[in-house]
Amino acid sequence: MRRALVLFALAGLLAAASACGPIEYVSQVTRTAASAVDDARAVDAERLAPYDWTRAIEYLRAAREQAAHANFQAANRFGRLATVAAERAKADAIRRAADPRLLDEITPPRRPLPPGSDDETPAELLPAEQDGILPARQDGEDRP
């Protein structure tokens, strides 16, 4: 009788432990990560911190995808990564909104082109030609 009671208690403990993945997922991804992404969205992180914003939404998407496949350990890991990225995106967005000069961190200014040149790379500077590989021949073109 005592042995049956111990086995029953162990079976109950095992069942409860196996159910922790979905419970932790609900807390980590559904609440924490999604809220962090919403907070970042509220401060315009998509425009002001595009790198971390993209990381956050992609990690959140990956977390939801893993949960759909019942891989809750991976879902929780992606949820934590989404939270960190969203918090960083929010902080960067707030910092860049306060000082617009910091927007150059996102898109650095382009180097000025020499006078008289257009925005296209001259054919003699193409990487393929620098490596000794010539582009395909044009009709009527004679090459050695």
Taking the C-alpha atoms of residue 73 and residue 77, their distance in angstroms, rounded to an integer, is 6
Q: Is it the case that residue 113 has pLDDT exceeding 70?
A: no
With contact defined as beta carbons under 8 Å apart, do 63 and 79 qualify? yes
Q: Which pLDDT band holds residue 52 (cuts at 50, 70, 90)?
A: very high
The dihedral of CA 37, 41, 46, 51: what is its sign? Answer: negative
Structure confidence at residue 129 (pLDDT): 47
| Mean pLDDT, rounded, of the chain | 77
- Domain boundaries in the chain? 21-108
Q: Which of 61, 71, 65, 78 is nearest to 22 (CA)?
A: 71
How much of the chain, in percent, has pLDDT values that exceed 70?
A: 58
Report which of residues 46 and 17 the model is more confident about.
46
Task: Specify whether the CB–CB gap between 112 and 73 falls below 8 A.
Answer: no
Query: Which residue reads 């939270």 in tokens?
Result: 83
Half-sphere exposure of 86 (CA within 13 A, CB side): 24
Specify the residue for token string 């970042």: 40
Q: What is the pLDDT of residue 51?
A: 93
C-alpha distances (whole Å) from 11 to each of 23, 37, 120 are 19, 39, 70
What are 9-41's pLDDT values in tens digits? 655 555 555 555 577 766 777 789 999 999 999
What's the pTM value of the predicted model, to 2 decimals? 0.60
Of the ranges 34-48, 77-91, 99-113, which one carries the lowest mean pLDDT score? 99-113
Chain center to CA of 52 = 7
